[in-house]
Amino acid sequence: MTHLTMTMLAQTIVSGLMIGLIYALIAVGLTLIFGVMDIVNFAHGEFLMLGMYASFWGASLFFLDPLFTLPLTALMLFAVGVLVYRLVIRRILAAPMLSQIFATFGMMILLRGLAQFLWKPDHRTVPHALVEGKITLFGLQLGTPQLTASLGAVLVTGGLWWFLNRTRLGTALEATSIDREAATLMGINSERMFALAWGIGAACAGIAGALLSTYFPIFPEVGADFILVAFVVVVLGGFGSVAGAFWAGIIVGEVEVLGGFFVGPAYKNALVLSLFLLVLLFRPRGLMGKA
């Protein structure tokens, strides 16, 4: 293999790692909600879309870079997640699974339609983002926005893992996901834990949206570009496993980018979906899911 080909392969692997970390950040919020409540949130991609628009309007109206408004975006999406739980999800907890699916799917359509009505279907970009251009690292050309987004994804995912495993509130959330009735008997308020799970899940999607807004076009259907891959990551990592979603996001990112490199860009989505089917057939509990 020539030096040029080796450099291209290394560049491709690093690109897969960077996009995979973003997939992981999107998926950890999705898997957290499912792990705590056994509800699949089809509107998760729209939370990401709202995070991107919040970053865009912050930059356009107030000249604030998405990296500066990122904490505010996270808080805003946390509030949106809690509000969605209080207004919609709490009312369907005892409903059949189909009702839950239709509720979150309908919420996806509603949020997407509101975005089209309020902001039109135009593609927008953040003007004059703080992170622009490329840097050279070990002979590889890395986009500064992509590198910043991937590092941010690592920090947020690591912070979430620490919260779940090293704090009392996180332990209460984990206990609720393992056995809701036993956690309630131990004095844990399950209603509060459910709202917290939705808030954190939406905040993770909003942070991912803020990081993506520095280099990815913003439009009402942008969530659809990521939510299908996020579902693949959740299944591969194991439903409810934050650590599993992190490693699965990297694997899916590498499969997508390396598949595009070796097989062809037109087949990268087919390869990701093939991975999804293989996991369902041979290891339905995923990499780190519970047996």
pLDDT in tens, 7-46: 788 888 999 999 999 999 999 999 999 988 888 899 999 9
Specify if 138 maps to a domain.
no
198 and 86 in contact (C-beta within 8 Å)? no
Q: Pick from 43, 62, 82, 39: which is nearest to 203 by CA?
A: 82
For residue 65 the two structure tokens come to 């870079």
Please state the φ and ψ torsions of residue 142, each to the nearest 5 degrees.
-120, 130
Residue 161's contacts (CB-CB under 8 Å, 6 or more residues apart) are 242, 243, 246
Tell me the CA distances in angstroms from 38 to 12, 32, 101, one per residue in order: 36, 9, 11
Indicate the burial class of 282 (C-beta count within 10 angstroms; 0-12, 13-18, 19 or more).
Answer: exposed
Q: Between the CA of residue 244 and those of 74, 163, 237, what are the distances in Å? A: 23, 16, 4
Count up the domains in the chain and report the number: 1
Q: Is the pLDDT of residue 1 over 70?
A: no
Q: Is residue 109 part of a domain?
A: yes
pLDDT-derived band at 78, boundaries 50, 70, 90: very high
**190's tokens:** 């399950």
Tell me which of 247 and 288 has the higher pLDDT: 247
Q: Which pLDDT score, from 0 to 100, does residue 68 have?
A: 94
pLDDT band (50, 70, 90) for residue 239:
confident
- Cα gap 260→58, rounded to integer Å: 35
Residue 134 lies in a domain: no
pLDDT confidence of residue 220: 96
Q: Would you say residue 36 lies in a domain?
A: yes
Domain of 252? 3-123+144-282
190-208 mean pLDDT: 95
CA proximity to 124, closest of 213, 62, 61? 213
Indicate whether this model's pTM tops 0.85. Answer: yes
Per-residue pLDDT band at 2 (split at 50, 70, 90) = low
Q: pLDDT by residue (tens digit) across 172-189?
A: 998 888 888 888 888 889
- Under the banding of pLDDT at 50, 70 and 90, the label for residue 275 is confident
C-alpha span between 161 and 74 (Å, rounded): 17
Averaged pLDDT for residues 53-76: 95
Q: Which residue has the higher pLDDT, 128 or 192?
A: 192
Residue 289: is its pLDDT beyond 80? no
Taking residues 109-134, what's their average pLDDT?
91
- The string of DSSP codes covering 90-110 is GGGTTS-HHHHHHHHHHHHHH
The angle, 0 to 180 degrees and rounded to 10, between the axes of the packed helices 168-178 and 3-37 is 80
List, in sequence order, every beta strand (DSSP E) within the chain: 134-137, 140-143
Q: Is the pLDDT of residue 276 over 90?
A: no
Q: Is residue 271 part of a domain?
A: yes
Q: What is the mean pLDDT of the chain?
A: 90
Any domain includes 139:
no
The verdict on residue 17 lying in a domain is yes
Percent of the chain predicted with pLDDT > 70: 98
State the helix-helix crossing angle for 3-37 and 242-262, rounded to 10 degrees: 150
Residue 64 predicted with pLDDT over 90: yes
Residue 38 within a domain = yes
Q: Are 45 and 108 in contact (CB under 8 A)?
A: yes
Alpha-carbon distance 165 to 87, whole Å? 29
Q: How far apart are the C-alpha atoms of 241 and 54, rounded to whole Å?
A: 28
